[in-house]
Amino acid sequence: MGEQEPMTAQHGKHGAGPSVDPAPGPAAPAQPSAAAPSPAAPPPPGRAAGGPLGWFRRRSRAGRLAITVGAAIAAIAVVLLVLGTVTNGAAKPSARPPRAPGFSLRVVGHPGQHITLSQYAGHPLIVNFFASWCAPCKRETPLIAAFYRAAHGRVTVLGVDVNDSAHSALKFTHRAGVGYPVVSDPQPMTTTLAYGAPGLPATFFLNSQHRIVQRVYGAVTRRDLQAGVAMMTRPAGQG
């Protein structure tokens, strides 16, 4: 549909021709008429029918009082709610870290042996998920192995080889200088999925209660290891 011109006051009615003035005739005698009423004075601001306060001013005194008291009570309730939320938020202790899923996995190179998480009960633990086919792991695993050796038994580490062959895992860990235990999590990678690892490598720091206090997705750095150990060895109850 084409563009339309809006109707305005300069347009006549449809079908009406040009206006014609009537022929002059004798003037009619002037008839007395009542004085035209003077236009009403405009209402003061705020009292117009459509004004923002008109509805309020038209109410009775009791009605206005009830509205004012109700608004004051609502405002006080909102203030108390906000203060209560802030107070509760400040006083509420932080949520506890999630508990690490338990597992029982075979030791790489020793099919008859298993390691369970419960064996480390009461001890902080680093759980590192890796694989020989993982490119970042080729840089990360030697770093973790060196960190573990330098700790001289003060740090406990468990490697979890994911979806890998025992032969490849043994060759890889030997070349990286791994001295901590390594277990296997083959398909369907139940433990890896239970920990929520989005990919490899993935490292989880467990405190003495085996709650996950820190996690690193991707290759860890020495600083990551130091920070994670500080968190997992922190006495319980400290933020």
pLDDT tens, 162-172? 999 999 999 99
Contact 161, 132 (CB under 8 A): yes
Residue spans per domain, the chain:
54-91, 104-232
The candidate with the shortest Cα–Cα distance to 113, out of 125, 121, 104, is 104
The mean pLDDT of 203-214, rounded to a whole number, is 98
Contact 101, 195 (CB under 8 A): yes
* pLDDT tens-digit map of 42-82: 555 444 444 555 555 566 665 555 555 456 555 555 444 54
Helix-strand-coil split of the chain, %, nearest 5: 35, 15, 50
Distance CA 115, CA 181 (A): 9
User: Among the residues of 31-60, which ranges form H helices?
Assistant: 54-57
Distance CA 217, CA 128 (A): 10
Phi, psi of 160 (to 5 degrees): -120, 110
Give strand ranges (E) for the chain. 104-107, 110-116, 125-130, 157-162, 182-185, 202-206, 212-217
pLDDT at residue 156 in the model: 98
pLDDT at residue 80 in the model: 46
pLDDT at residue 35 in the model: 45
CA dihedral 197, 200, 201, 203 (to 10 degrees): 10
Task: Centre a 10 Å sphere on the Cβ of residue 224 and count the other Cβ atoms it contains.
Answer: 18
User: What's domain 104-232's superfamily in CATH?
Assistant: Glutaredoxin (3.40.30.10)
